[in-house]
Structure 1
Amino acid sequence: MKKNTLDDYKQAIQAKYEEDKSGDYSSFLINPSRAKLRDLCTIHYKENGNPVDFAIFRNFFGFEFEEDNSKELKKQTDKFRPLETFFKGETDLTDISAVDLAAVLVNYNPRPLNRFIKVNGIKTEASIEENTSYTIVDKSTDFTTEEKKKEPIISHDHPSKRTVALQSTLAQIQHKTISVKQMFKILILFVIILVSAYGMKELIVPEKQCMQWQNDHYEIVDCSSTTQGIGAINEIKPIIEEELKLKKIEVSLQTPFFQKNKAAVWYCKKDNKIEYFNEAGYHPENGKPLKPISQYIITKYIKE
């Protein structure tokens, strides 16, 4: 029997990626970028993380995932470049930890690689049960007399071989046989109904789980929204609570620039113009880190 290989694993992940491009996370996968894959990674680990996936995260990044370390993850954005080019079919992945993280991003199972290889050729419980039938017996049947008929029968044709058989009067037992395949079809139909109902809900009242920079602040929007408002050039990305509070502000010499000897205003240069913000973070349009205000900047750029 042919064993699964690393190439088989990568091909399976690529196939799952092509399938997921039209799924719930299509906005991240249709044209994947390093930033989009980083944001999708954050969503997965906040919502669906499990011990195996956390180990994959640790092996790839070298530190544990925590919900409040989004800034640390932002610093690792360039590490998503090999995954971006892998999904686009431009390059191959040689780092196994990167291949496993790619499996996480498209939710491919079985993962990681060692598990993918081990399951090959093993007859799982699901495959065993597929050919198994379950019998539902009519409780009104009297088994008292039937048990007496289950006497061993010795074959006289071959005295040297004692063949034992059990006789049963199954014709008298009211039963129904439901195969696993039939049960599986019923389950699939039920899942389709649930998914359809959920899809209708999302279509009528889409749940807003993303945010987009609008002029001077972030607004909560639907992740699949095509109406991008004022900030049409700004990407829609998953909600990050720390960034959601960020606002661009106007300042003057009367603005309280410091509190307890610490900066209360941050700035960044965009198109040769200084822009000011109420919190630390990254510029929502060009991605540059915001710098704390200094007396030099106040003296040079801020006038009455």
Structure 2
Amino acid sequence: MKKITFKDYKKAIKKQYEIVKKDDVSGILANPSPAQMRNLSLIILDKGISRKDEELFRLFFGTKENESLKKSIENCNVDKFRPVISFLKDETDSENSIRIEMSALLIDFKPRPYSVFSIMEDLELVATSSGNQLMSNVVTELDVSESSSDLTKSDVIKSNNSIPKKKIAIGLFSLVGAFSIAYTSKDMIFPNKECMEWKEDHYEMVDCISDKIELVKIQEPKPYDEIEFGRKKIEVCDTTTFFIGDKPIVWYSKKNNMVEFFNMDGFNPENDDELKQITQYMIDRYVMACD
């Protein structure tokens, strides 16, 4: 008898992470740090979570009986996210069910938890349970057997015919077609490129030494840095979330009365000015209403 295993569940979560990190406008999932994952947890909490997700949060953060969940997250030791990040990046494996379920929650993987995932038998059940409007016609089928549980193929669903039992259809967040899911390894995504260069509002991988002759070279490439590579210049307006609790999650640089906003602290890649934490004064003075 064929059975959907916990190993299949973990593989599906990692596959979904490869998709959602490309569409994450905050930049957190592309190159997550423990502190950023803590901030993401607070954002998820502020948006509202189910009772089961709240129970998982309380278990993961070790929230005491009479303690505020939000306060528990704010005061947590961010190092507890390091194994979660390593798992999502496929750097390490884990059999810790709380850690795996937390990984699924942070990327909004559905169906979850594993007890629900393990009984899904067709696309209609998956789509119904997910409630995700971005789920499109493209699915990845997880072919499950007792001896092998590799993700094997991506198909475009052309009809509402049922999928054979014991195959799990995992909805993708954007149209992928027949293209393969990208590898997590930087070396596989950017072969022979070990440096990065700032391009308008984000970093891109480049060769450290280029044969191209450029008349004007504003910035030299920098050695690849995993955390810095996640930096992005962001557009903000009056509905942007600038704080989680009393902690700012947006930084800014101001020069010649021009203000630019970034998703993490550090330095402005364009002029090396140190970034400052956003303040209510700066929001009131420089942030415009959304269109």
TM-score (norm 2): 0.45
Highest RCO, 1 vs 2 (Cα 8 Å, sep ≥ 6): 2
TM-score (norm 1): 0.44
Greater fraction of residues in helix: 1
